[in-house]
Amino acid sequence: MYLILFGAPGVGKGTQAKILSDKFSIPHISTGDILREAAKNGTPMGLEAKKLMNAGQLVPDDIMVEIIRETLAEERCKNGFILDGYPRTTAQAESLNRLFKRLNISDYALICLEANDEEVVKRLTARRACKSCKAIFSLSEIENDIHCPVCGAENSFYQRKDDTEEVIRTRLEVFKSSTKPVKNFYRNENKLLEINGLNSIEDVTDEIIKGLEKTFSSK
């Protein structure tokens, strides 16, 4: 099963990626992770990406899609994958389409987790991270507890800069202007599965699985 996970910041992509990865026994491919891995392994494309990232520049689409190609061609991806973090633009979606054709991948779906801005802001501003182990919690999970549930560190919770309202709203605007048109691209390709990402984790998972069953059984 070949899946692309898509949605605004804070909509729960990471949570659903882990659940679906376990359920279908396919790897979760985060583009951020594979960029760092390629740079660490010293592949030609990885070294080029590392040089650009160290200079604070974006990795061009041609390098990014080649790094993705190298990853998707690995043995662990032979039965499927969950691609998370790419594509972010319609140009990248077109490049990924060409890559899928090279890899003989035709039965895939883009899972779009939907959310309204105010709920995303509410959800993300209520997140806290542990300075010690970097684990992330919602305020409801830690309530008045002063100890981290993961590592036990005392008084270690803080709000990350990425989780302040101003930064979140900026990220959402970027998403809507440059990334959301990707959804229309996949709708035109008949590969789009739209899911309410603000339901409970269990309900979101159930809706995804039902949608995938319907999508792939009709092919």
Kindly list the catalytic residues.
Answer: 13, 88, 127, 160, 171
Burial 29-56 (b: 16+ CB within 10 A, else e): bbbeebbeebbeeebebbebbbebeeee
Q: DSSP class of residue 164? A: S
Q: Cα(65)–Cα(52) distance, rounded to whole angstroms?
A: 15
Q: DSSP class of residue 139? A: H
- The residues, any chain, with a CB within 8 Å of residue 52's CB and separated by 6 or more, are 58, 59, 60, 63
Closest to 196 in 3D by CA, of 187, 188, 207: 207
